DNA sequence: CCAGGTGTTGGGAACGATCCCACACCTGAG
DNA sequence: CTCAGGTGTGGGATCGTTCCCAACACCTGG
């Protein structure tokens, strides 16, 4: 072969083998512009004979497009990056990015005034940004240069398409399930105050409680198991007659389970417990956790695909959440 | 500014602002070659005034270096990519890659003869490869062009540095702990047969059992919770007097817990259970799981850093595993 | 005062793909 | 027969960076 030994083939090699010019080969590979069927087949044949893979760097350079997707996570500390939810997002983005020649990098966005997102926007290496735990101030101050290449896993805006689970729907199903099984004094452990989706589920809870004439027992949370433990203690102290606790995150719900157990409270006998997310281990606890599904992987993959294809996504893509009834409620 | 409006600064812009040539600016930024202290400070000042970030694509193109790290996971099906362990590896690689302008992509390597790894090696976009669940045939058939830019999270070879937890040490600590608390009929749920680290811990188990005159009760596993459930049933059926089960993965151990519970077996009263990995939820089950730590994040970060820096890593970097005694054993 | 280092600098050619542009060919309408 | 317009093709220029190399300034010792 005319390929230099040991080095991957270039477009030039493919063109030479196919007996056409670099330009024609490029048009065939990229699928843009004209090419005769003869040329087309000769080029594709040559390409896979040589095992040709376009160099994403060269491509990105000339197209001015950037070579990776940045996953940017808002949070109080850098520890949010260790969250299994975030890890799942990154892995799924990395999986869909590969075929497009895109890699994924992971960044922390401090909650209060920081120019971290601006630094990401300035980076020519960044093709698009996946926002996780998106806050409203952040969306308001979005760098202009990012317009059209951001996707939010959470709340969106006019400029930023949103890919999210139907929080309200999932919470409603869980609450209906609790009500249907006779629970009337339901406490809820919500998400962090600064996170907009907290509002969604909290509002669903407040509306349903008001409509059914039930008390509102709302506790702030942060999605961690530790917080669940504390919240369980707090709920039982403040409202000893509580007969159900709904935590909007499975780790928190498992923490609640542990906290109640420590207090000698029977689940689901004395108090029912429900979570949200359906993490794999929710099925393994004793009692197994009743929860609502949250297809994080599919959501992240959809957002990453939209960014990779550069297509303008629908303003809101909502993924359904379904109730997974198990033993704890 | 002399920068074109709206577009990120280039090295040319930095050089112009600093009043030096592109070459000098390049030398300062890349930290290679000579530069007077005066030039050095003028260039760095200009660079951060403009918020300059080198374009990784251009850099990779001219250096011939590739622009992302590929995480390649061996497994029987593509479902291995959904493993939280894999997700944690990817996220940590993505975190350390960012500052180097490197993204991460995720790939599945089928167990039996496939040229998936060759395709990755042919891809000019790939700077380095992190191998997960590395098998020996794979290492033997490693594409030459990958030499010097692979790291294995697991077993290594002369060409491939290994970054791994001390499996043998961790298993030994767990087994000593079980023995010290009076357990004498210990069953072990190992890893998949094709995975070399399975040998390590299984051999530690066999040696210790022989030395102490204990029976060997070895069950194959696959790191899943479902398998743990089944293994628990199988162990109690084949060896009803078993008084401890050691699973080399926490999800499996949680499955064992669930399986034993289903059989009305008391933990740790009748049977002690121990796992390996110390996943966050191991602390939350009832009873809380005794396990050995496995610093996956640090291991992945170390491997990714070695690849990003292009430095030749030590043949074996072993990370200690420490016993985390809780309630289940 | 000049040979011969030793730092320090800038010009220009890569790297591999895209894409604009000029050109060649063909077909059918005027 | 000519000319417009649709197809197909190849030759550069280009993206932002690195790196080789030649040029130059300065110093030191003969």
For residue A280, name the pLDDT band (cuts at 50, 70, 90): confident
Chain mean pLDDT for chain B: 92
Q: How far apart are CA A225 and CA A279, in angstroms?
A: 13
Q: Stretch A37-54: mean pLDDT, rounded?
A: 91
Kindly state the tokens that stand for B60: 């990779």
Q: What is the pLDDT of residues A203-254, one digit of tens each?
A: 889 999 999 999 999 999 999 999 999 999 999 999 999 999 999 999 999 9
Q: In angstroms, how far is C15 C1' from B55 CA?
A: 14
SS3 B108: strand
Q: Please identify which residue in the block is written with the tokens 């996707």.
A: A151
CA angle (A324, A285, B179) in 5-degree steps: 160
Helix axes A37-50, A11-18, angle to 10 degrees: 120
Q: How far apart are CA A145 and CA B203, in angstroms?
A: 57
- Provide, rounded to the nearest whole percent, the portion of chain A with pLDDT above 90: 78
Q: How far is CA B126 from the centre of its chain?
A: 18
Chain mean pLDDT for chain A: 92
For residue B6, name the pLDDT band (cuts at 50, 70, 90): low
Q: Stretch B151-168: mean pLDDT, rounded?
A: 94
Determine the distance in angstroms separating the CA of A245 from the nearest CA of chain B, rounded to an integer. Answer: 17
Q: Which residues of B touch A97 (CB under 8 A)?
A: 103, 105
Q: Please identify which residue in the block is written with the tokens 């790290």.
A: B69
Residue-wise burial string across B204-237, b where 16 or more C-beta atoms lie within 10 A, e elsewhere:
bbeebbeeeebeebebebbbbbbbbbbbbeebbe
Instruction: Spell out which residues of B between 56 and 115 contact strand D, using CB within 7 Å.
Output: 58-59, 61-63
Q: Do A281 and B51 touch (CB under 8 A)?
A: no
DSSP 8-state code for residue B161: -
pLDDT of the residue at A56: 93
Kindly state the tokens that stand for B299: 């291991």
Residue A3 pLDDT exceeds 60 = no
Whether A281 and B251 have beta carbons less than 8 Å apart is answered as yes
Q: Stretch A164-172: mean pLDDT, rounded?
A: 93
**Burial label, A293 (beta-carbon count in 10 A; 0-12, 13-18, 19+):** middle
Q: Do B61 and A57 touch (CB under 8 A)?
A: yes
Q: Do B90 and A86 touch (CB under 8 A)?
A: no
B295 and chain A: CB distance < 8 Å anywhere?
no
Residue A2 pLDDT exceeds 50 = no
For residue A113, name the pLDDT band (cuts at 50, 70, 90): confident
Tally of CB atoms within 10 A around B168: 18
Q: Which of A107, A101, A96, A15 is nearest to A61 (CA)?
A: A101
Please state the three-class secondary structure of A243-273 as a single string.
CEEEECCHHHHHHHHHHHHHCCCCCCCCCEE
Q: Do B125 and A61 touch (CB under 8 A)?
A: no
Q: Please identify which residue in the block is written with the tokens 């007097």.
A: B241
Q: Which residues of A touch B144 (CB under 8 A)?
A: 6
Sheet harboring B244-247: ordered strands across?
A: B217-219, B186-189, B244-247, B272-274
Q: Which residues of A touch B57 (CB under 8 A)?
A: 56-58, 60-61, 66-67, 124-125
Q: Stretch B272-276: mean pLDDT, rounded?
A: 96
Kindly state the tokens that stand for B33: 């070659």
């Amino acid at each position: 072969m005319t390929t230099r030994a040991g080095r991957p083939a270039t477009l030039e090699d493919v063109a030479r083998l196919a007996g056409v010019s670099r330009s024609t080969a490029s048009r065939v590979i990229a699928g843009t512009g004209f090419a005769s069927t003869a040329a087309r087949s000769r080029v594709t044949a040559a390409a896979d004979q040589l095992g040709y893979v376009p160099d994403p760097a060269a491509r990105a350079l000339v197209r001015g497009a950037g070579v990776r997707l940045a996953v940017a996570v808002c949070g109080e500390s850098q520890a949010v990056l260790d969250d299994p939810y975030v890890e799942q997002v990154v892995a799924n983005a990395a999986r869909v990015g590969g075929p497009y020649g895109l890699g994924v990098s992971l960044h922390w966005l401090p909650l209060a005034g920081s120019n971290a997102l601006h630094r990401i926007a300035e980076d020519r290496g960044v093709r698009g940004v996946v926002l996780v735990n998106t806050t409203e101030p952040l969306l308001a101050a979005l760098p202009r240069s990012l317009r059209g290449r951001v996707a939010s896993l959470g709340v969106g805006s006019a400029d930023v398409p949103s890919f999210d689970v139907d929080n309200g729907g999932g919470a409603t199903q869980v609450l209906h399930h609790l009500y249907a099984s006779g629970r009337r004094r339901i406490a809820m452990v919500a998400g962090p105050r600064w996170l907009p989706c907290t509002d969604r589920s909290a509002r669903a809870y407040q509306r349903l409680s008001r409509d059914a004439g039930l008390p509102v027992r709302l506790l702030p949370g942060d999605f961690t198991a530790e917080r669940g433990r504390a919240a369980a203690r707090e709920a039982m102290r403040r409202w000893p007659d509580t007969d159900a606790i709904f935590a909007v995150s499975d780790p928190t719900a498992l923490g609640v389970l542990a906290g109640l157990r420590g207090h000698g409270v029977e689940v689901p006998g004395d108090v029912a417990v429900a979570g949200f997310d359906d993490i794999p281990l929710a099925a393994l606890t004793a009692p197994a956790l009743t929860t609502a599904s949250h297809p994080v992987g599919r959501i992240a993959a959809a957002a990453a695909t939209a960014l990779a294809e550069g297509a303008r996504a629908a303003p809101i893509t909502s993924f359904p959440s379904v109730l997974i009834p198990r033993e704890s409620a």
